[in-house]
Structure 1
Amino acid sequence: MSIIKIYGIRNCDTVKKALKYLINKNIPHQYIDLRTDSISENEFKTMLDVIGLEILINKRSTTFRSLTEYEKKNINYELVLKFPTLIKRPVLVQDKRIMVGFNEKEYANFLVN
């Protein structure tokens, strides 16, 4: 089993809760800050393949609402690099398993399997 990666943004309260959960449970993980480390195109494609655009993109965000109609309908890797807050947070990745958001019960199930 590979190390767990958690993608997020440092000042996001939900990301803080998820990181605290992983630390308190002594679960080894690698934190990737979407603003400073960015996401690789392969990682982005894997997320899209596994969970899809509807789950991955935060359509309630100010960033999403500020996009043009064309951009909203054509979200791609370059747009996510330019606006990392388009991605819902946190994104938990282990191998090809991916989970978006934070919920203690769902994390417990995800991390056991």
Structure 2
Amino acid sequence: MLTVYGIKNCDTMKKAMAWLTDHNIDFTFHDYRKDGIDEAWLSALVQQVDINVLVNKRGTTYRQLSDEQKQNLNSDTIVPLLLTQPAMIKRPLLIQDTLIEFGFKADRYHQLLIK
């Protein structure tokens, strides 16, 4: 089962979920704010993907970090930070079996999900 992680009222999330619905792709939506995130799940994700891919550096939450916080992001500091600031996780995040995909690009979704 495909799971889409993110924040419901994000415009990019809306586009991604509309694309999935339009292409009859079943998915479960996990809202970071409503459903929360688990430390063990997040720690496992950090082990699988580069922090620079995981963190949404264009978002307001990231831009509000101090320069020191930005410079000290690593696998040890990122988990506690993202647990308190899940809006910093790049979205949407799609996970299905071994597939982990960040962001939304229709042609990439088509390549990955249309068989």
Q: TM-score, normalised by structure 2?
A: 0.85
Aligned match for 2:47, one of 42, 46, 49 = 49
Mapped partners of 2:19, 2:32: distance in 1: 19
Mapped partners of 2:19, 2:66: distance in 1: 37
2:64 aligned with 1:66 = yes
Q: Structure 1 runs of 4+ off > 3 angstroms?
A: none
RMSD: 1.6
Q: Which moved more, 1:67-76 or 1:82-91?
A: 67-76
Give the match for residue 32 of structure 1: 30
Unaligned runs of 5+ in 2: none
Query: Could you tell me how far 1:39 is from its partner in structure 2?
Result: 2.0
Unaligned runs of 5+ in 1: none
Give the match for residue 104 of structure 1: 106
Distance change (3 Å), C-alpha of 1:47 and 1:10: same
Is contact 1:47-1:98 (8 Å) kept? no
Name the % identity.
Answer: 38
Mapped partners of 1:109, 1:41: distance in 2: 31
Query: Could you tell me how far 1:88 is from its partner in structure 2?
Result: 0.9
Query: Could you tell me how far 1:42 is from its partner in structure 2?
Result: 3.0
Aligned match for 2:18, one of 13, 17, 20 = 20
Query: Could you tell me how far 1:63 is from its partner in structure 2?
Result: 0.7
* Partner amino acid, structure 2, of 1:101: G
Give the match for residue 76 of structure 1: 78
* Partner amino acid, structure 1, of 2:2: I
Mapped partners of 2:32, 2:80: distance in 1: 13
* Partner amino acid, structure 1, of 2:113: L
Is contact 2:39-2:83 (8 Å) kept? no
Mapped partners of 2:43, 2:113: distance in 1: 22
